[in-house]
Amino acid sequence: MQLGIYVHLPFCPYICPYCDFAKWPVRRSRASAYMQALQAEILAAHSEPAATIFYGGGTPNAYDAYEIGALTRLLRDHFPSPRAAHEISIEVNPELVREGDFAHYVASGINRLSIGAQSFVEPEIAALGRKHTPQQVERVVELARAAGIASVSIDLIFAIPGQTAGSWSRSLDSAIALGVDHVSTYGLTIEAGTPFERWHEREPGAFAGDDLEAELYGMAIDRLERAGYEHYEISNFARPDHRCAHNEQYWRNGEYLGFGVSAASYRGGERRVHTRELDVYLAAAGAGGPIPGEAERLTGIKAVGEAVMIALRTAQGVALQEFKERYGVDVAERYAPVVARYESDGLLERRDDRIVLTRRGRFLANDVCGAFVTFE
């Protein structure tokens, strides 16, 4: 089975008020120490083939492009591709991109870009506490194309305070007009402990209600599908041959190794998550030792429920025969009451040998998918 590699680069030029990722404001000395610790952690790992590499964060391009290039070469040597080439993705903040960055990226093997656009409407970008402009996003797409990046994706957020159906429509139109290969759309979530949580407590009316959120999500599905994007996962749309292979690895319940602070791995049925404490990570990785964190072994029906939950979020849904062969469980039989209930509600349907979410089911995916995890 193929392997995916995730690398967490946790530094950002500033901290967005809705974010609960493991991230810190960038400081040169700390970022250098982190890069060294990360390289030590990678070199201490067993060298083996891996099909995909993904840089997430944080803001990976808070690092200079030549540093990312060097890290990419190290990863490619340590985790050689089993095929002609890896898929290597990097998330970028558009305001930090400099002329010439992508030449370094392409030379090192990076072939997929995920741009944190979030919106093409300036007051919405400002409401998220971000400082880039829609014009910077357009320029980044142009630079990426000119440098030969094979696949360009943008992230959009809906249910932003102040957003309307009209303004969301403008963001979708802008993304489509740019001709990007892939679009991820995420509903804004209010995370515990963030400034947005406190804002939400003070002024709940500033945030979109469930009806508006559902309307905006429905608009994304309609508009992007009409423009030729396949809705291949609840939050993701791709032109033909531009699905994100790295994320598909997660959704197939495949194995992956995570490097860096807070990074998660899934191997041999065990999920491990590294510490979120930066200093603890730096000390452990720098010493070449194991990284403190948490481990959980998913076994039996719990493992099957999790796999069903992830698979249902994709357009392929749950392939019954494949699940039987891999987990020894007939999902239709084992979860018959859950399947029957959501089929009769019009949220799930059988398609050939598969169980998939209906269009209506995609709007209630968390409830439907979650029911397979809690079912005993």
- 87 contacts: CB under 8 Å, gap ≥ 6: 51, 52, 53, 111, 112, 244, 245, 246
Minimum gap (Å) between residue 59 Cβ and ligand SF4 = 5
Residue 15 as a binder of ligand SF4 (CB under 6 A): the answer is yes
Minimum gap (Å) between residue 55 Cβ and ligand SF4 = 12
Task: Give the nearer residue to ligand SF4 in terms of CB position, either 15 or 40.
Answer: 15
The continuous run of DSSP H or E covering 32 comes out as: helix 28-44
- 373 contacts: CB under 8 Å, gap ≥ 6: 302, 305, 306, 308, 309
Span interacting with ligand SF4, options 15-23, 135-143, 187-195, 197-205, rule CB under 6 A:
15-23
Tell which one of 2, 3, 21, 375 touches ligand SF4 (CB under 6 A): 21
- 19 contacts: CB under 8 Å, gap ≥ 6: 191, 194
Residue 115's closest CA among 103, 129, 133? 133
Please identify which residue in the block is written with the tokens 């391009």. Answer: 61
Task: Give the nearer residue to ligand SF4 in terms of CB position, either 236 or 262.
Answer: 262
Mask: binding to ligand SF4, 49-68, rule CB under 6 A, as x and -? --------xxx---------
Task: Give the nearer residue to ligand SF4 in terms of CB position, either 19 or 35.
Answer: 19
Minimum gap (Å) between residue 58 Cβ and ligand SF4 = 5
Tokens representing 84 are 């002609």
Span interacting with ligand SF4, options 11-19, 26-34, 224-232, 262-270, rule CB under 6 A:
11-19
Minimum gap (Å) between residue 26 Cβ and ligand SF4 = 10
The continuous run of DSSP H or E covering 237 comes out as: strand 236-238
Residue 16 as a binder of ligand SF4 (CB under 6 A): the answer is yes
Give the whole-angstrom CA distance, residue 249 versus residue 246: 5
Give the whole-angstrom CA distance, residue 204 versus residue 82: 50
**How big is the site for ligand SF4, counted in residues (CB under 6 A)?**
10
Angle at which helix 101-108 crosses helix 65-78, to 10 degrees, equals: 10
Residue 190 as a binder of ligand SF4 (CB under 6 A): the answer is no
Tell which one of 4, 5, 8, 23 touches ligand SF4 (CB under 6 A): 23
Residue number of the CB closest to ligand SF4 reads: 19
Instruction: Report 218-277 residues binding ligand SF4 (CB under 6 A).
Output: none
Residue 12 as a binder of ligand SF4 (CB under 6 A): the answer is yes
Determine contact, residues 358/365, Cβ cutoff 8 Å. Answer: no
Task: Give the nearer residue to ligand SF4 in terms of CB position, either 12 or 75.
Answer: 12
The continuous run of DSSP H or E covering 225 comes out as: helix 210-226
Contacts with ligand SF4 by CB under 6 A lie at: 12, 15-16, 19, 21, 23, 57-59, 93
